[in-house]
């Protein structure tokens, strides 16, 4: 029985799970960390590619099924029963690169993405199923309704693309909303943690009052003077400022 509080919507169609594994571009020699394997549909498809998989599942009810799968996988599958929010992925990866692939539990999807974008463990790539509305917030561009803090954070740290739309009926039980897979690879020029912290402060203020002009929404951070330093019009609104513009504002505020 699927538990709603654990965001349990399962992918049982091998055509879909295989397609996600293909989109993840993983294979022989790769290490994949999968969050929430549940009954193991996507896990199976990932193992088929020849990748080694470490699966983190919070719900112990899946353990017997997953242990069976691990036995058949002959050492290629390791199972951890724990909450992925507290997991130490760097330790699980053992200092080597690891890819993250997951049909994410929607209630913790954004929190996990932020952890992987800003934390000490940077995945080699991420191939993640989100509810469509969250996927759109990740890839949104200035001027889009969905453009906000998440887009700026995701796009300063990673290259992100929506690679697959998935309708509710692909899942058992079907969720109320549509879903989409986003593929992210870390940017080589990913800002250092102090820059990211400043960026978070600036975007929180700017998008906290997204309809206001920056002169007023950024008032406590320097307002008009801060905008002038980086050549951004103080009359502009947060939703029109590029990712690079926000980084410039964050750097100027920090300086």
Task: Summarize as ranges the residues that interact with ligand SAM (CB under 6 A).
Answer: 6-11, 35-38, 41-42, 56-59, 83-85, 103, 105, 108
Q: Which residues have C-beta within 8 Å of that of residue 119, sequence separation ≥ 6?
A: none
Q: Which is nearer to ligand SAM, 115 or 229 (CB)?
A: 115
* Distance in Å, CB of 44 to ligand SAM, minimum: 10
With CB atoms as reference, the residue minimizing the distance to ligand SAM is: 36
Per-residue 3-state assignment (H helix, E strand, C coil) for 28-81 = CCCEEEEECCCCCHHHHHHHHCCCEEEEEECCHHHHHHHHHHHHHHCCCEEEEE
Return the residue matching tokens 């790769």. 30
* Distance in Å, CB of 213 to ligand SAM, minimum: 40
Q: Which is nearer to ligand SAM, 66 or 151 (CB)?
A: 66
173: preceding bond cis by omega (within 30 degrees):
yes
* Distance in Å, CB of 29 to ligand SAM, minimum: 23
Q: Which is nearer to ligand SAM, 111 or 204 (CB)?
A: 111
Q: Which is nearer to ligand SAM, 84 or 184 (CB)?
A: 84
C-alpha closest to that of 181 among 1, 27, 24, 29: 24
* Distance in Å, CB of 88 to ligand SAM, minimum: 13
- CA angle at 32 for the pair 194 and 127, rounded to the nearest 5°: 65
Q: Which is nearer to ligand SAM, 167 or 193 (CB)?
A: 167
* Distance in Å, CB of 16 to ligand SAM, minimum: 9
């Amino acid at each position: 029985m699927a538990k709603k509080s654990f965001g349990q919507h399962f992918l049982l169609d091998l055509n879909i799970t295989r397609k996600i594994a293909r989109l993840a571009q993983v294979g022989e020699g790769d290490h994949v960390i999968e969050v929430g394997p549940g009954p193991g549909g996507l896990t199976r498809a990932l193992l088929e590619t020849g990748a080694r998989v470490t699966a983190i599942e919070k719900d112990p009810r899946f353990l017997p099924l997953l242990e069976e799968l691990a036995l058949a996988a002959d050492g290629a599958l390791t199972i951890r029963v724990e909450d992925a929010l507290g997991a130490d992925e760097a330790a699980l990866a053992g200092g080597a690169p690891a890819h993250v692939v997951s049909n994410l539990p929607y209630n913790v999807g954004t929190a996990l993405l932020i952890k992987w974008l800003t934390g000490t463990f940077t995945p080699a790539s991420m191939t993640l199923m989100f509810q469509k509305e969250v996927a759109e917030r990740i890839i949104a561009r200035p001027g889009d309704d969905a453009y906000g803090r998440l887009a700026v954070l995701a796009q300063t740290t990673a290259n992100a693309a929506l690679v697959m739309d998935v309708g509710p009926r692909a899942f058992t039980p079907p969720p109320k909303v549509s879903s989409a897979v986003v593929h992210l690879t870390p940017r080589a020029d990913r800002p250092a943690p102090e820059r990211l912290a400043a960026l978070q402060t600036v975007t929180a203020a700017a998008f906290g009052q997204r309809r206001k002009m920056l002169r007023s929404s950024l008032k406590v951070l320097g307002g008009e003077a801060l905008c002038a330093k980086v050549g951004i019009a103080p009359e502009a609104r947060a939703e029109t400022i590029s990712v690079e513009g926000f980084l410039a504002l964050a750097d100027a505020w920090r300086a």
